[in-house]
Structure 1
Amino acid sequence: MANQTQSTTKQPSQLEMQPVLNLFNAGKLAEAESAAKKLVAHYPNTFILYQILGIAQDGLSKFADAVESYSKALAIQPNMPDLLFNLGIDLTNVDRLPEAETSYRKAIALQPRFFEAHGNLGTVLQKQGRLEEAIESYRKALDIHEDPRGHFNLGTALRDEGKLDEAISHFRHAISMFPNYADAHNYLGECLRDQGNMEDAIKSYLDALKLNPGHPGANYNMGEFCYLAGRFDEAVTYFEKSKLDDWQERALYCTYKAEHFDDFKNKLDNIASTHKKHDAPFLATLSTHYATNFGVEDTYNFCKNGFDFVYQKSIPELAEPDSQFLKDLLNDIDNTAIEVRAQGMIINGKQSAGNLFKRPEASFRRLGEIVKQEFLNYKNRFAGADCELIKSFPNELEFTSSWYVRLRRGGYVDRHIHEVGWISGAVYLVLPKDKKDPTEGCFEYGLHGDNYPQKHNNFPVGIATPSVGDIVLFPSSLFHRTIPFNSNEERICIAFDLKPEGDIFIRSSY
């Protein structure tokens, strides 16, 4: 037994270690990894070998292997804040966020002024939707050491929380410290856009593109601006440069809006034939509209018969008489400091900025969990349907965004779709009662909107008539609008999109 213990604690000699160190110090990471693996097989209790392995695997983007190596190093020497920090990064890279949080907190406990660990902890908390905690971590990092990245990170969390003015201040601060910070210029532009300040938003996008002509986000945002301005050919160029998220669908949309129908059909057919899964709701909208417009078969099978997949149900906690939950939601909407996002599709109303279900208020969090359960109910309701809407239903139930919409007399939301979504929906909290027409304030869905080019007017519509406490879910590919109401009342709903994996955050309205 004594010999066995001695063999497990035996360390390599300097002569044995030197080739590994030489390879590592020369930046030959693959060779260093291979040499360290051979040596650690003989000396399994050697801290520096696992440390070298972790750093080399990190550099080779072998994040899961790096997690294992750092963990073994820390099992030998646990009080190493730098290694705990590195482990936190790699745990984040492999989406093991609770473990990453623990690793960063251990590093901070050992080294309280480790500002990078505070900052990275904030990022992990933000990824988990814990915005208040993330903001606290970012502020701690900045209190210890002020740097552009810290202001940028804090700005992104404040933006998610709907605090646009404060977010803008931090993005500007990051830029003042590092004028070439292209990401900060782009995010600043997005916040200015959300406030309706398009002139300054465009300037920020262009500033980002001066620094980095290939910046994906800035190119995408300029494409979005150009298509909203009706400059469709310019928009196509920006989207194709961005190669970001749904750029292909956006470029195809601009081709259709420009009425280049032959070019549109050729590109659509190419996409439909080369993509194994028809899993882009935006393409489904375009394909269905084209097929209806020209009387041809719809070849894109995301959800050809979207009307069949509209789901309406009452939420008992909200629908019951004198519901305390409903009162809590309305109280938080009235009294929580949430900024308003400029939204051109809303007439006589307003929409909240940020992501409501990521806010700390208990009522919003509770409603988010209820909605997630309804997503599962929706999936089960339509199980077995032969379309990608159900067959490729997202496994991770996250919200692209969530927001409230308040409409007053004469208020409505114009026809639109949610270009980046999968399932969209709304929960209805206040509805007009004094209606001359029973459809006033109702939810209308259909196949046409957004001034798409029309060859005829035969585009069908459907109407959902919600009651207070109802939830309505539907494929994000369907156009939808709020029918105007004329009574001196309010209409309040909380709307949301289910996030397809890998998609970006874009907010729309109901």
Structure 2
Amino acid sequence: MLSKEKESVGEQEGKKKVTEVKTFPIPFALEEIKENITLNTKTKSQLPKEQIINQAFKFHSQGNISKATKYYQICIKQGFNNPQVFSNFGILLKEIDQLKEAEKMIKQAIKLKPDYAIAYNNLGNILIDLGRLKEAEIYTKKAIDLKPDYANAYNTLGNILKELDNLKDAEICFSKAISLEPDHESAIINRGQLYFDKGEFKKALKDSDLCNTKQSRAFSLEILYSLGSINEIYNRIEKTYAFDDKNLRLAAFSSFISERENKYTHHNFCPKPLKFLHFNNLKNQLNNYEEFIKGLLKELSEIKTVWEPPKKTTHNGFQTPSYINLFSESSIKISKLKAIICNELDSYYLKFKRESCSYIKKWPSHKKLLGWHVILKKQGYQEAHIHPAGWLSGVIYLKVVPSLGKDEGGIEFSLNGPNYSNINSPQLIHQPEVGDMVFFPSSLHHRTIPFSTDTDRIVVAFDLMPN
């Protein structure tokens, strides 16, 4: 499917829908990646060249990162000078946060094919994540020079210019992408967000309504709130609640507007998420919890982390890359922690089982956990966010920092979101102790308050995934 030179695997960076070939965000299987991905150019194979390349593309398209990596490495070891191999492998490496290696692969693709517009655009996206925006601008403009009708590149350039605070030209680029491909959802949403940030709410709403996706339907409600169109908000939720019941961004906003207006919406995922906070401590589960935490920290120290991973909320800290699920690890302490969490989930459900919201009534039938850990340094924090792919989220505190009377290092829960807020919205700040376990609905906004003490704050976080 990908052997023809059209769009590479990485073109999901540019848009949601592609008419030339099918594209896909990598659908990581939770139990599939069990260890760090390492680059190994000693791998050998007796397969024919074309079959090896097709195997790499096939496994990449399926989200099988380990096998895709193996076959891309074979291609490189055997000297296959196929620019699409290098470009696609670069995108795979980008997806697993190996950005420096990704940059090398894309540049090799360009060296092999200097007029490879797709590779220039992919390189632009990698350089965005590396924070090298001016370089990203140069390479993306090169992609446009090579392919003037390249909508994805105009969308990428729009994102770069927006980050550089050149909003006028960013809008021009997003509009150009849309004129080239009127169904380019990413460019439409990007332009809508730009309009929103500029306070041009009617234009933002028009763009958002063009898409009709889970993301855009929630975004439209947020825009309507800025326009003061409360009745329209309730009307829209009534029309879509049946098929948006698991749309957690919409659920978060619905909770906010219900509280602000003192009037329930038809959305019933979890109307009162602060009511579903749950607290316990490892010392109530283990006799030697301090030794357990010490051993757990040792195991975690051997697992790869990434400094301020792109498109995440972690600032001034390290986080497990997205392709690693902690709970796929077979190490003793991590496996024990998983068992403790699963037992606590049973207690959680029993505590709230009489509640009538979908969050409880449609409780996941299997305990499928996705876990990661975060190490925040001095002045580190996490922005307010939700976990839209989860059901229930949780944090286990392994190392904490002193609050200094200012809630430093605490976790704050709130109904306010990035695009909407009310000074009277309820919030709760929890100052954690070592061993604390905090469970909450994945639709509840939460953030870490920055801290000034020169020490580490270390947590394991997880999502209980929906069915």
| Band of TM-score, shorter chain | 0.5 to 0.7
Paired residue secondary structure (2:439): strand
Aligned residue runs from structure 1 range 86-101, under 5 A: none
Paired residue secondary structure (2:302): helix
Match of 2:267 in 1: 300
Q: Normalising to structure 1: TM-score of the pair?
A: 0.60
Read off the aligned partner of 1:163 and give its amino acid letter. Answer: Q
Paired residue secondary structure (1:450): coil
1:405, 1:495 within 8 Å by CA — same for their partners in 2?
no
How far residue 148 of structure 1 moved from its aligned partner, in angstroms, is: 4.9
Match of 2:220 in 1: 251
2:399, 2:459 within 8 Å by CA — same for their partners in 1?
yes
Alpha-carbon deviations, 1:339-359, whole Å to 9, x = none?
433579666x23537316348
Are 1:160 and 2:118 counterparts?
Answer: no
Paired residue secondary structure (2:385): coil
Output the CA distance in 1 between the equivalents of 2:336 and 2:124.
32
Are 1:139 and 2:105 counterparts?
Answer: no
Match of 1:57 in 2: none
Cα 1:361–1:498 change in 2 (3 A) is closer
- Among 265, 288, 302, the alignment partner of 2:255 is 288
Match of 1:374 in 2: 341
Q: Normalising to structure 2: TM-score of the pair?
A: 0.65
Output the CA distance in 2 between the equivalents of 1:146 and 1:373.
50
1:312, 1:471 within 8 Å by CA — same for their partners in 2?
yes
Match of 2:23 in 1: none
Cα 1:125–1:379 change in 2 (3 A) is farther
Match of 2:420 in 1: 452
Unpaired segments ≥5 residues, structure 2 = 1-25, 33-43, 138-155, 160-172
Read off the aligned partner of 1:115 and give its amino acid letter. Answer: I
- Among 426, 431, 452, the alignment partner of 2:395 is 426
Size of the aligned set, in residue pairs, is 385
Output the CA distance in 2 between the equivalents of 1:340 and 1:175.
28
Match of 2:233 in 1: 264
Cα 1:137–1:380 change in 2 (3 A) is farther
- Among 298, 305, 322, the alignment partner of 1:328 is 298
Match of 2:86 in 1: 151
2:56, 2:69 within 8 Å by CA — same for their partners in 1?
no
Output the CA distance in 1 between the equivalents of 2:99 and 2:398.
25
Paired residue secondary structure (2:291): coil
Match of 1:18 in 2: none
Match of 2:21 in 1: none
Aligned residue runs from structure 1 range 170-319, under 5 A: 170-171=105-106, 177=113, 179=116, 181=118, 185=121, 191-196=126-131, 200=136, 202-203=156-157, 209=177, 212-220=181-189, 223=192, 227=196, 232-272=201-241, 275=242, 278-315=245-282, 319=289
Structure of greater relative contact order (alpha carbons < 8 Å, 6+ residues apart): 2
Output the CA distance in 1 between the equivalents of 2:92 and 2:184.
21
How far residue 408 of structure 1 moved from its aligned partner, in angstroms, is: 1.2
Read off the aligned partner of 1:140 and give its amino acid letter. Answer: I
- Among 116, 129, 133, the alignment partner of 2:53 is 116
Read off the aligned partner of 2:439 and give its amino acid letter. Answer: L
2:244, 2:250 within 8 Å by CA — same for their partners in 1?
no
Read off the aligned partner of 1:285 and give its amino acid letter. Answer: A
Paired residue secondary structure (1:426): strand
Paired residue secondary structure (1:297): coil
Unpaired segments ≥5 residues, structure 1 = 1-91, 99-107, 502-510
Paired residue secondary structure (2:301): helix
Read off the aligned partner of 1:160 and give its amino acid letter. Answer: E
Output the CA distance in 2 between the equivalents of 1:332 and 1:264.
48
Structure number with greater Rg is: 1
Paired residue secondary structure (1:320): helix
How far residue 327 of structure 1 moved from its aligned partner, in angstroms, is: 3.2
RMSD, aligned CA: 4.5
Cα 1:180–1:194 change in 2 (3 A) is closer
Name the structure with the higher helix share: 1
